[in-house]
Amino acid sequence: QKEVEQDPGPLSVPEGAIVSLNCTYSNSAFQYFMWYRQYSRKGPELLMYTYSSGNKEDGRFTAQVDKSSKYISLFIRDSQPSDSATYLCAGGYQKVTFGTGTKLQVIP
């Protein structure tokens, strides 16, 4: 079993839709959680960082962590074509473990 699981997609949504991206993880030791956005043939770019359970909002992006169910979510409001990318979730304690990423396509 992979430590961090993501549906690879692709997930296609119309412009303006609310997007929900999800991950599950198995390592109870994870203390902090991240979402990275990765455009094609580029390096990952940090979007959200959350320490322990709870919600965090930054503009159109909201990250949720539920440690009791080992579930991580990223919500994107008013999605834009420029949001089209692969979204990697990650958990960490001493080192970071990434999911394989969910490919998102926002259709104009």
Partner 1 sequence: DAMVIQNPRYQVTQFGKPVTLSCSQTLNHNVMYWYQQKSSQAPKLLFHYYDKDFNNEADTPDNFQSRRPNTSFCFLDIRSPGLGDAAMYLCATSRTGGEETQYFGPGTRLLVL
Residues that bind partner 1 (CB under 8 A): 2, 4, 8, 31-32, 34, 36, 41-46, 49, 51, 88, 92-101
**Residue whose token pair is 């043939």:** 41
Closer Cβ to partner 1, 20 or 39, answer by number:
39
Which residues face 7 on adjacent strands? none
CB of 78 to partner 1, least distance (A): 26
Angle at 74 between CA 68 and CA 76, to 5 degrees: 150
Q: Which one-letter amino acid corresponds to residue 46?
A: L
Closer Cβ to partner 1, 9 or 17, answer by number:
9
Angle at 96 between CA 91 and CA 102, to 5 degrees: 60
Closer Cβ to partner 1, 76 or 88, answer by number:
88
CB of 87 to partner 1, least distance (A): 12
Closer Cβ to partner 1, 17 or 24, answer by number:
24
CB of 35 to partner 1, least distance (A): 12
CB of 27 to partner 1, least distance (A): 14
Name the residue among 52, 46, 47, 48 with its Cα closest to residue 32. 52
Please name the helix (run of DSSP H) or strand (run of DSSP E) that holds residue 61, with its range, or none: strand 61-66
